[in-house]
Structure 1
Amino acid sequence: MKKNLKSPLVVLLLLFHFVAFAQNGTIKGRITSADGQPAAYVSVGLKNKPQNTATDDNGNYILSKIKAGNYIIRVSAIGIATQEKNISINDGQTLELNFTLSENSQILKEVSVQAKKNAYKISTPDNSLRLNQPLLEAAQNIQSVSGQALKDQQIISMSDGVLRNVSGAMRTSHWGDLYTNVHMRGSQIQAMRNGFNFVNSFWGPLTEDMSIVDHLEFVKGPAGFMLSNGDPSGMYNVVTKKPTGLNKGEVSFTLGSFDLYRTAVDLDRKLTEDGKLLFRLNAAAQQKGSFRPNESNDRYSIAPVISYQLTHSTKFTAEYNLQRAQMTDVGSYYVFSTEGYLSLPRKFTYAPENLPKTNINDHSVFLNLIQNIGDQWKITAQTAYSKYLQTGSSLWPADVLTNGDVIRSVGIWDAESTMKLGQLFINGEVKTGGIKHRILAGFDIGKKDYMADWGQSHPLDLPSSPFNMYHPNLGYPPNGFPNFDRTTSLEARAIAAGGTMGQKYTAGYLQDELGFFNNRARLTLAARYTKASQYQWGGTSYSASKLTPRIGLSVSLDQNTAAYGVYDQAFLPQSGKLKDGGEVKPITGSNMEIGFKRDWADGKWNTTLSLYRILKQNELTADVQDPTFTYSVVLGEKVAKGIELDIKGELAKGLSLIANYAYTDAKITSAFPNSGFANNDLVPGYAKHTTNAWLSYTIQSGFLKDFGLNAGVTYLKDRTSFSYSATNPAYNMGDYTKVDAGLFWSKGPVKITANVFNVLNEYLYIGDYYTGYFSNNVYSWQAEAPRNYRFSIAYKF
């Protein structure tokens, strides 16, 4: 380990000893309304000087390259009382100035429609990530996907093209639209919602409908201070919509190919004249067909949120989310063949007409209390409760023969998930001499239980009357539809089927970010202690604990450029059954990373470049020699190394870009005996090269003013299936190229958007290769839609 640490520590030391030189000063801060809400798009500038900017979505601003001297800083916007303040600034100084706006009868009503010059770039993390600093200063690679990007790309769920906005992220095999399953840096990453880990089984939470989502945050690396336990590769955080303190609303209608009909409403209101009591309601309803016959995904969601400013320093927020889904059997996306990937038509399905649907009700409640203590300290207490209910089934073949005959089988999949989660943390700043301390401390607790009945199955076909993939008959199946026994409780059925799993954990953590040289160099020292117990597949519970340290350094090379280095560790308990009855050890891992961040053109766009090495040990994987799926084997040790580049923001007037590239080299460095893998095998389920771009341009003048064009591309090269083999090329998938394009027009409160997806009409897929499970070796894949269209019209009020 010392050898591995040598190079990163040298980089950290070099950064730490960076010597400050004389330079212009910086003014930054946060602007809030009288009720404590962030004031977005408020103008901030120096009176009679060219330095001007606007606050971002979180009310933060920064003015850079200011020569030493005396000035008047001016805060203004339509409908608010202008504020001015005399200031004095020195070379190299960073001056922090916060403002609280005085409300009038037009309080901020028109502010939200001001320039969108940072529509794709978010400068600060959500409070749920617990960081109290701009992203530019953090010793961490954090990439955000803004709400405006989600709208422009007509993304309607978490599984619907979100990942093109983040370097190195891709989706792997999945059960329909049940969950998203994001892989990044060589592993599946954790799914978070409002800072809570919402993973309660291998299949993750139900894919979030975008009607409830404000924006998304992808955190690269373990980030132990954000997780009680998690994968070393990182996580993504879904931030739901909250009241803003502005009286505004939006209604939208979307039509699309394959019978897509969707309506969404966003209502944001002050319930009291003083703005202390706020309310927001988001709701959506959709009917959605598919390019495959007999397949649908109908949903509705509703998310009321209420917040109350109890005192000037105390705020309480309560939020409820309901997502209801009725979808075709979740196994209908899978296709199987002995002849190779893409050997069947893209619209091929095994699902017969009138196969019973899967019904899901996903409830979640969030309670949040924020107590400010003076200007420098804040305590956050929050809790979450989730209840997930599923009644349905999964379609899977009992066998696949070389002549195309298949015995289709439907297995019951009734499930219930319950999560009770709590967090308490404190953020604050204090100075000791010339050192500025950003303190973060807190603890997490959680209890998760999942139970599922997988113990019943029903063959749709008979040996004497099989389904043939080359002459498919999707009518009433020869053996009829299943009639599962649900007379006993789900808990009793789950216990009998070995379908119970759960986890309890408690964790405490402490982090101190020490700022030197007027906060130009920031040294992070942190540690987390986690104790967890876990059971799985009906097995017995076991406990494990670990102290995970973290050290990082971020240095501002100038006002807009920062370099960082970080070393941290991760800890993730796991369960499974080993044939030899041995003890299952937790996953442990570490991350070493260096990177460079830069804001360009006064913060209108930014770039992030990172280089990393992740070590992961003790991970379990399925025993490829066990067709019953009962046992696991220890994969051993694997290492993921890579380079990631992200570009995001407004490059020129009306021209916005999201672009990224990732090179990922993930290999098994020490394969466990009898695991089915060998040293230097590539890690299953990732692409070595991932490239994405999304370009949006709004015409600024002339006859076509306010018209715009969108274009996007995703390219994946050197993809591995989920069960990769270095010796059998059948495991490897072809390259992936998807091109999208569209037009839009906006005028006043109206915006019309139309996009064409998969313009080149490529046969897009993700796949796997099975040996030992059926009587023959079988290819399996899930196809994406051919060329398709979406048209939306939105009205703001």
Structure 2
Amino acid sequence: MKNQITCLLFLTLTFLGYSQNNDVSGVVNNSAFQAIENVNVVLKNTTTGTETDAQGKFNLENIEAGSYTLSFSFLGYKTKEVQISVMANQNIDLGVITLYEGNEILNEVVLYGGEGNKFSRKKTAYVSKLPLKDIENTQVYSTITTSLLESQVITNFDDALKNATGVDKLWSSTGRGGDGAGYYSLRGFSVQPQLVNGLPGLTNGTINSANIERIEVIKGPSATLFGNAVSSYGGLINVVTKKPFAGTGGELSFTSGSYGLNQIVGDFNTALDKEKNIYFRLNTSFSRSESFQDAGFNQTFFVAPSLSYKVNNKLSFSFYGEITQAEQTNPMFLFLNRGAPSIASNLDELGYNNKLSFTSNDITLLNPTQNYRVEMDYKLSDQWQSQTLLSRSSTSTKGYYSYLYDLGGNPVDTFSRYINKQNANTQTTDIQQNFIGNFKVLGLRNRMVVGLDYLNTTSVDNGSSYVYYGSVQADGTTEAGYPLSTSGIDAALAGATVNNLKSEYNIYSAYASDVLNITDAFSAMVGIRLDHFDNKGDLSNDEDDYDQTTFSPKFGLMFQPIQDKLSIFANYQNGFTNVAPTLVGDPSAGPQTLMTFDPEQANQLEFGVKTNLFSNRLNATVSYYDIKVKDQVITDPDSPFNKIQGGEVISRGFEIEVNANPVDGLNIRAGYSNNFSETTESDNVNILNRRPLEAGPENLYNFWANYEFQSGLLEGFGAGLGFNGASEQFAINYANTGDFILPSYTIANASLFYQANKYRISLKLNNAFNKEYYKGWTTITPQLPRAVIANFTYKF
């Protein structure tokens, strides 16, 4: 901790050395002489910008001397531009700027501040369903921006998430029906990326990186605003897609690299009418990559059309679509034995040959996915806005899935291969109606969202049962007579049963959240959700139906000793899980009875500080959290035929994230997290007082620095350097099996690039020292060795 504080102080002193005294300030009013809040104030052709406060005031700090065009834009008003000249050591007060109503589309303006802290995001409308700045939000979240992804030449979602403090991969996406887009550990609990633009968006494959505007990792239980279906006790992951903007342009990009990586991406945006009220954007990509092992590949075609239509200065519509056609060999997981001791407790004892895939390129899965979203925004008054949202998702799996399971007890561990034929589909429909207000009561400012939410999820499984299909040893010795071909597997599956399952559940919710400014420096956030879960279960069996109703509260306090620069916060957040009824009672003593349970609950207490210093050149968040999960349903210690609620898990830790722009051209991102998790109450002695496997490593860290020369002969040239790593973690951690430990690791990465006006050329080296490392969650999955990636992007 001492080292982190020393580093933060060093960065602070560095910033002070580079600060300037040129400020530009003023006030923005409408034609009725009323202050307009949240007006975008941007120096054109730069990344310097800010927003007006509740009094319409704005202030741009530390502007270099020169001539600029200052742009003022706000939804429902005509954009206004003002020419300014900034002299050295001069503060400019522009007085009152008046905006007039008009019919105009506004793109989502990204405000960085300073000369461009491109690795941070000052404001988002998704985290709290309100347009709150990070420094006034009592919840902690990490934002992975497009600029950060570009500087690291990111081609996949897993690499992108390595930039989020406290996030670590547990499972790759399997492609199997219902498994989703992989699993990650976050604050001691597993989580999947299931939100797109704040709405449910599912996939059975990996998430395509071509259409990502940014990724928001929201920390802690978040059921109050998002429900439990798309969040976990550790938090949630929201993918924000690229949207239409006012203008014409786009880019073409080609990336090629090690292990057969080839990816081409296209992005085009234009107006569709002369009045420029309708804008259309199309993102599309094709990619293919091979495995570093002896077999395996992933091939994806992706297209994402989006449309923005401004009807008038009060009404607008938006449409977003994502269509993916993917084919892959499923990543081969080595499942460790969860019920009996294994002779191996680490990779050396296992003798695992990680160059072998234990599969074939003939055994593949198809994962077609479609996500659609429609949004209608209507300005009811100067204080209230209506937002109507509809999303539809459909994701399918067809093909062959296999895995290896440890039999245990052999001199060299033997794994049995099990295989089935997948044929599954999951569809979701989500409808939300939000009313968003910004008003005063008794002189106190309120920013409020009141919403209704309906979610329907329907799943169909017509896949086969699993059958045994030979055995292998970890060193590569394979049992003969089991050909890895579709004909051989089809013959083995000829006698397998075929599922005919269709299940469904509905969630009806109402929620409200209010940010109350008690003073300019002190605010409180209060939220509550009423959630009714209606589970139809297997539609052919009425006996598994059940429903539950849950309240989920949320509360936060925020104090800003230095307005918009330093905040101290604390929060209480809640999450829950619906628990299905179960039969209890000794069946030999008579008929069993059905017992119902309360929903499982998770409660978090957290406090910390956030900074936004030196015109957004230094953003830091330091926080400590304590999460307790209670009311877990466990087996009664006195009767194996009875269930009781009383299991408890604790997860506590601290996180540090720093985004810095100390000098022009240099952007830095660094993060560190420490997590302690333990099952504190359970009748299952095999897990009692042990770290849950989904908690991942105790320590995680990441760093990336990117510098671009700003002038001279090397102008446009730059380089990036960074690393990410983790402490050792348990793949197995049960009293009856012993431990299997995956080793700690540190992975170094580097890049070189040249950035011109119309194009960018990049060269990236991943895993520079060719470190052998693994991920796992009762599994062992080797990760990618050293790889070289080259990219060329042309912008028009």
Query: TM-score with structure 2 length normalisation?
Result: 0.80
State the one-letter code of the partner of 1:703: L
Q: Report the more deviating stretch, 636-645 or 610-619.
A: 610-619
Q: Say whether 1:349 aligns with 2:361.
A: no
Structure 2 residue aligned with 1:173, among 151, 171, 174? 171
Q: In structure 1, the residue corresponding to 2:458 is in which secondary structure?
A: strand
Q: In structure 1, the residue corresponding to 2:550 is in which secondary structure?
A: strand
Structure 2 residue aligned with 1:637, among 630, 635, 648? 648
Number of the residue aligned with 2:378: 371
Shift of residue 730, structure 1, vs aligned partner: 2.6
**Equivalent pairs, count:** 710
- In the alignment, the residues of structure 1 paired with residue 57 and residue 444 of structure 2 have an alpha-carbon distance, to the nearest angstrom, of 22
Q: In structure 2, the residue corresponding to 1:651 is in which secondary structure?
A: coil
Number of the residue aligned with 1:417: 426
* Conservation of the 8 A alpha-carbon contact between 1:196 and 1:421: no
Shift of residue 111, structure 1, vs aligned partner: 12
Q: Report the more deviating stretch, 570-579 or 698-707.
A: 570-579
Q: In structure 1, the residue corresponding to 2:489 is in which secondary structure?
A: coil
Q: In structure 2, the residue corresponding to 1:118 is in which secondary structure?
A: coil
* Conservation of the 8 A alpha-carbon contact between 2:747 and 2:769: yes
Number of the residue aligned with 2:267: 266
- In the alignment, the residues of structure 1 paired with residue 303 and residue 672 of structure 2 have an alpha-carbon distance, to the nearest angstrom, of 36
* Conservation of the 8 A alpha-carbon contact between 2:50 and 2:60: no
What do residues 320-347 of structure 1 show as CA deviations (whole Å, max 9, x unaligned)? 1111110013446879996442522331
Shift of residue 289, structure 1, vs aligned partner: 0.4
Shift of residue 471, structure 1, vs aligned partner: 4.9
Number of the residue aligned with 2:302: 301
Where in structure 2 are the equivalents of 1:726-741 lying within 5 Å?
730-741=739-750
Where in structure 2 are the equivalents of 1:289-368 lying within 5 Å?
289-331=290-332, 339=344, 340-341=346-347, 343-351=351-359, 353-368=360-375
Structure 1 residue aligned with 2:452, among 443, 457, 466? 443
Q: In structure 1, the residue corresponding to 2:727 is in which secondary structure?
A: strand
Shift of residue 183, structure 1, vs aligned partner: 1.4
Number of the residue aligned with 1:54: 49
Where in structure 2 are the equivalents of 1:501-516 lying within 5 Å?
501-516=503-518
* Conservation of the 8 A alpha-carbon contact between 1:434 and 1:516: no
Where in structure 2 are the equivalents of 1:207-218 lying within 5 Å?
207-218=206-217
Shift of residue 680, structure 1, vs aligned partner: 5.4
Structure 2 residue aligned with 1:662, among 673, 678, 683? 673
Shift of residue 250, structure 1, vs aligned partner: 0.6
Structure 2 residue aligned with 1:390, among 388, 397, 408? 397
Number of the residue aligned with 2:622: 609
Q: Alpha carbons of 1:118 and 1:98: their partners in 2 closer, same or farther (altered >3 Å)?
A: farther
- In the alignment, the residues of structure 1 paired with residue 157 and residue 165 of structure 2 have an alpha-carbon distance, to the nearest angstrom, of 16
Structure 1 residue aligned with 2:687, among 677, 694, 716? 677
- In the alignment, the residues of structure 1 paired with residue 134 and residue 247 of structure 2 have an alpha-carbon distance, to the nearest angstrom, of 26
Where in structure 2 are the equivalents of 1:142-221 lying within 5 Å?
142-159=141-158, 161-176=159-174, 179-189=181-191, 191-196=193-198, 198=200, 206-221=205-220
State the one-letter code of the partner of 1:657: I
Structure 2 residue aligned with 1:694, among 683, 700, 704? 704
Query: TM-score with structure 1 length normalisation?
Result: 0.80
Number of the residue aligned with 1:554: 558
Q: In structure 1, the residue corresponding to 2:662 is in which secondary structure?
A: strand
Shift of residue 349, structure 1, vs aligned partner: 1.8
Q: Alpha carbons of 1:446 and 1:584: their partners in 2 closer, same or farther (altered >3 Å)?
A: same
Q: Alpha carbons of 1:40 and 1:603: their partners in 2 closer, same or farther (altered >3 Å)?
A: same
- In the alignment, the residues of structure 2 paired with residue 704 and residue 166 of structure 1 have an alpha-carbon distance, to the nearest angstrom, of 31
What do residues 1-24 of structure 1 show as CA deviations (whole Å, max 9, x unaligned)? xxxxxxxxxxxxxxxxxxxxxxx9
Structure 2 residue aligned with 1:717, among 709, 727, 744? 727
- In the alignment, the residues of structure 1 paired with residue 112 and residue 165 of structure 2 have an alpha-carbon distance, to the nearest angstrom, of 30
State the one-letter code of the partner of 1:509: Y
Q: Alpha carbons of 1:638 and 1:327: their partners in 2 closer, same or farther (altered >3 Å)?
A: same
Q: In structure 2, the residue corresponding to 1:730 is in which secondary structure?
A: strand
Q: Report the more deviating stretch, 324-333 or 250-259.
A: 324-333
Shift of residue 617, structure 1, vs aligned partner: 2.1
- In the alignment, the residues of structure 1 paired with residue 216 and residue 434 of structure 2 have an alpha-carbon distance, to the nearest angstrom, of 20
Q: Alpha carbons of 1:116 and 1:392: their partners in 2 closer, same or farther (altered >3 Å)?
A: farther
What do residues 76-117 of structure 1 show as CA deviations (whole Å, max 9, x unaligned)? 4999862489xxxxxxxxx9989579999xx99999999971
Structure 1 residue aligned with 2:761, among 752, 756, 768? 752
Q: Alpha carbons of 1:221 and 1:397: their partners in 2 closer, same or farther (altered >3 Å)?
A: closer
* Conservation of the 8 A alpha-carbon contact between 1:590 and 1:616: yes
Q: Alpha carbons of 1:576 and 1:186: their partners in 2 closer, same or farther (altered >3 Å)?
A: farther
- In the alignment, the residues of structure 2 paired with residue 669 and residue 139 of structure 1 have an alpha-carbon distance, to the nearest angstrom, of 28
Number of the residue aligned with 2:785: 786
* Conservation of the 8 A alpha-carbon contact between 2:210 and 2:265: yes
Q: Alpha carbons of 1:675 and 1:386: their partners in 2 closer, same or farther (altered >3 Å)?
A: farther
What do residues 572-593 of structure 1 show as CA deviations (whole Å, max 9, x unaligned)? 2144867867545522111111
* Conservation of the 8 A alpha-carbon contact between 1:534 and 1:573: no
Q: Alpha carbons of 1:573 and 1:197: their partners in 2 closer, same or farther (altered >3 Å)?
A: farther
- In the alignment, the residues of structure 2 paired with residue 600 and residue 527 of structure 1 have an alpha-carbon distance, to the nearest angstrom, of 33
Q: Alpha carbons of 1:644 and 1:191: their partners in 2 closer, same or farther (altered >3 Å)?
A: same
Extract unaligned runs of 5+ from structure 1.
1-23, 46-51, 68-72, 86-94, 624-630, 770-779
Number of the residue aligned with 1:433: 442
* Conservation of the 8 A alpha-carbon contact between 1:694 and 1:713: yes
Extract unaligned runs of 5+ from structure 2.
1-22, 31-35, 63-67, 85-94, 586-593, 637-641
Q: Alpha carbons of 1:224 and 1:693: their partners in 2 closer, same or farther (altered >3 Å)?
A: same
Q: In structure 2, the residue corresponding to 1:483 is in which secondary structure?
A: helix
Number of the residue aligned with 2:87: none
- In the alignment, the residues of structure 1 paired with residue 494 and residue 387 of structure 2 have an alpha-carbon distance, to the nearest angstrom, of 45
- In the alignment, the residues of structure 2 paired with residue 444 and residue 487 of structure 1 have an alpha-carbon distance, to the nearest angstrom, of 44
* Conservation of the 8 A alpha-carbon contact between 1:328 and 1:358: yes
Q: Alpha carbons of 1:603 and 1:796: their partners in 2 closer, same or farther (altered >3 Å)?
A: same
Number of the residue aligned with 2:20: none
Q: Report the more deviating stretch, 653-662 or 580-589.
A: 580-589
Q: Alpha carbons of 1:446 and 1:675: their partners in 2 closer, same or farther (altered >3 Å)?
A: farther
State the one-letter code of the partner of 1:42: V
Where in structure 2 are the equivalents of 1:21-170 lying within 5 Å?
42-43=42-43, 53-55=48-50, 63-64=58-59, 75-76=70-71, 82-83=81-82, 117-127=116-126, 129-159=128-158, 161-170=159-168
Number of the residue aligned with 1:19: none
State the one-letter code of the partner of 2:169: R
Q: Report the more deviating stretch, 605-614 or 581-590.
A: 581-590
State the one-letter code of the partner of 1:599: N
Q: In structure 2, the residue corresponding to 1:437 is in which secondary structure?
A: strand
What do residues 21-70 of structure 1 show as CA deviations (whole Å, max 9, x unaligned)? xxx99878899xxxx9x99883189xxxxxx94259xxxx9845999xxx
Q: Say whether 1:254 aligns with 2:255.
A: yes
Q: In structure 1, the residue corresponding to 2:772 is in which secondary structure?
A: coil
- In the alignment, the residues of structure 2 paired with residue 28 and residue 183 of structure 1 have an alpha-carbon distance, to the nearest angstrom, of 45
